[in-house]
Structure 1
Amino acid sequence: MMRCSGIDELLAHRDAFPESGWIFVEKTFDTVSELHIREEPFFIAENDDEEFDLEETHRTWLEAPMFLAIVQARLEKNHAAPTGELIAAAIHYLEKDTFMP
């Protein structure tokens, strides 16, 4: 299982994401909290057994491919987008089900 401490580490490991599957968070994680996204751990299953276990003990945040698409879309608009802008793009998607303009 891949464990990333906050979004900066999650972003640093995005090339290792699986082609499908969820990014999981603790059950107490506020999915649209900038502070939680910056600091709380993220978990990505590396096989079906880990995915099943995480589904039982954690909650989902975003599908890994969707997170990558959100980041890519933002970086296409601003290739030097700071972490805060990437967080805002993820929150926008979670709240509005569409990419940030």
Structure 2
Amino acid sequence: MTGNSDTDTPAGLQSCSFLLPDTEEDELFIEDNSDYNSWLEAPTFSDIIENYTSKHPNASEADLIRAVLHYWEKDDFLD
């Protein structure tokens, strides 16, 4: 993640830029570089979205952000 480091609010998440490393080398570079902050791993993020949309197929972007923030804060899926 680059730019704004506010990952605790909906507005903060919407203003962040996220990077998905293509290789393990890219991942190590990002982890070792102070210009980047780590956040959720991509598979975890996908699981959060899939879990929520399976129960709420018409979920809005705001709903998905709320589900992600819930997981980030509580390490648990939002029902």
Both proteins in one fold, TM over 0.5: yes
Stretches of 4+ moved more than 2 A in 1?
Answer: none
Q: Where does residue 98 of structure 1 map in the other structure? A: 76
2:53 corresponds, among 66, 75, 78, to: 75
Q: TM-score, normalised by structure 2?
A: 0.87
Instruction: Select the structure of larger CA radius of gyration.
Output: 2
Structure 2: where are the runs of 5+ without partners?
A: none
2:39 corresponds, among 61, 67, 89, to: 61
| CA-CA distance at 1:64 after TM superposition | 0.8
Q: Where does residue 20 of structure 2 map in the other structure? A: 44
Between structures 1 and 2, the one with greater strand share: 1
RMSD, matched Cα: 1.4
Report the number of matched residues: 77
Question: What are the within-5 Å matches in structure 2 for residues 14-25 of structure 1?
Answer: 25=1
Percent identical pairs in the alignment equals 30
Q: Deviations over 1:21-55 (max 9, x none)?
A: xxxx1274112121121132100100112111110
Q: Where does residue 6 of structure 2 map in the other structure? A: 30
Question: Does the residue aligned with 2:22 lie in a helix, a strand or coil?
Answer: coil
